[in-house]
Amino acid sequence: MIATILGARPQFIKAAVVSAELKKLGIEEYIIHTGQHYDANMSEVFWKELELPSPAINLNVGSASPGKQIALMLERLEAYLMPFLDKIRLVLVYGDTNSTLAGALAAANLGIPVAHIEAGLRSFDKTMPEEINRVLTDHLSRIFFCSSAQGVKWLKREGIDDQVYEVGDVMADALTRYLPLAEEKIRLENILPFDAGEQFILLTIHRQSNTMSKDRLASLIEAVGTLGMRVFWPVHPRSQQALKDLKLPNNIHLAGPLSYLEMLKVLNHSYKLITDSGGLQKEAYWLKKPCITLRTETEWVETLENKWNRLAPDTESLRSVFGHGPEAGSWKPLYTYAEPASKAIARILGEIYG
């Protein structure tokens, strides 16, 4: 049996496609939800919409400082994994959240091998909680699934070269599977607070680096306010708190967090994306939408090569890159291989663990 540990919104999306492939191969999976994300629109809506198998258990850790949140997860994960030690052959974790690190550390402490999906990503920015989580998780893992050749190289630089598999990106499989559903089921006019025929920019901001300082967030918002186009911003709860008392320019329209299908639909009909999310940078690329990333660096370096994605670490660069599109004819497939990543992961795990 495989125990999969999930906790945050993007992990539910990634797990949906991998779990489906594990099921096809008859591999038994025990899903543990740490409860890092707990609001209905951050968690439940994804489980329902993506038809993820219900978690065997929800550890209900909720929000807390990183230290307390990870400590609570560790304590509860240990308690729930312990009785199944003779059955669990592997723990599967995704990405770089606090749930990823806690899952990998709890398993490693109990002697259970860990497989890490999205292994080898690096921003080389140690002020990012996600960078700390992913580096530590890689060094606790035994099996590594990388989205690209770059991840394999970065792991090698850290001395990791055994059981490293370049399989592509599971989010590409999710997009392939769910985009037709999003196009069929979701009505833009039910989501957008303005005429759905109008051109708009999709905006998301939720990273600690952009929301911790009110001044930083206020200056980003002010710059987005000058772009001369409607902006639609589905707001993450962390940013909702940070937005209190800030005055919004008239062209920025807020909404609550969207479901996965809603997000795909909105992105697919947007003019451009401005974001600090990791996953959305790739989704924009696959949907051929130019993206501006509000950070000094990105782990998804391949998306920068032909300027479909541009970094804008400050408001001046945001204004200056906004008018520039990608080079004509420069789009090429990224993070996708002949065998879909989710299928390759299930096949490899099946070969190793039978």
* Interface residue list for ligand UD1 (CB under 6 A): 8-10, 36-39, 42, 63, 96-98, 129-130, 206, 236-238
Would you say 63 or 330 has its CB closer to ligand UD1? 63
Would you say 257 or 326 has its CB closer to ligand UD1? 257
CA neighbours within 13 Å on the CB side: how many for 292? 26
Residues tagged active-site: 206
Would you say 8 or 349 has its CB closer to ligand UD1? 8
Would you say 309 or 326 has its CB closer to ligand UD1? 309
- Type of residue at 311: L
Q: How far is the CB of 37 from ligand UD1 (least distance, A)?
A: 4
Q: How far is the CB of 64 from ligand UD1 (least distance, A)?
A: 8
Tokens read off for 204:
């998301």
3-class SS letters over the chain: CEEEEECCHHHHHHHHHHHHHHHHCCCCEEEEECCCCCCCCCCHHHHHHCCCCCCCEECCCCCCCHHHHHHHHHHHHHHHHHHHCCCCCEEEEECCCHHHHHHHHHHHHCCCCEEEECCCCCCCCCCCHHHHHHHHHHHHCCEEEECCHHHHHHHHHCCCCCCEEECCCHHHHHHHHHHHHHHHHCCHHHCCCCCCCCCEEEEECCCHHHHCCHHHHHHHHHHHHCCCCEEEEECCHHHHHHHCCCCCCCCEEEECCCCHHHHHHHHHCCCEEEECCCHHHHHHHHCCCCEEECCCCCCCHHHHCCCCEEECCCHHHHHHHHCCCCCCCCCCCCCCCCCCHHHHHHHHHHHHHC
Q: How far is the CB of 5 from ligand UD1 (least distance, A)?
A: 12
Would you say 97 or 137 has its CB closer to ligand UD1? 97
Q: How far is the CB of 32 from ligand UD1 (least distance, A)?
A: 16
Q: How far is the CB of 40 from ligand UD1 (least distance, A)?
A: 8
Would you say 10 or 290 has its CB closer to ligand UD1? 10
Q: How far is the CB of 38 from ligand UD1 (least distance, A)?
A: 4
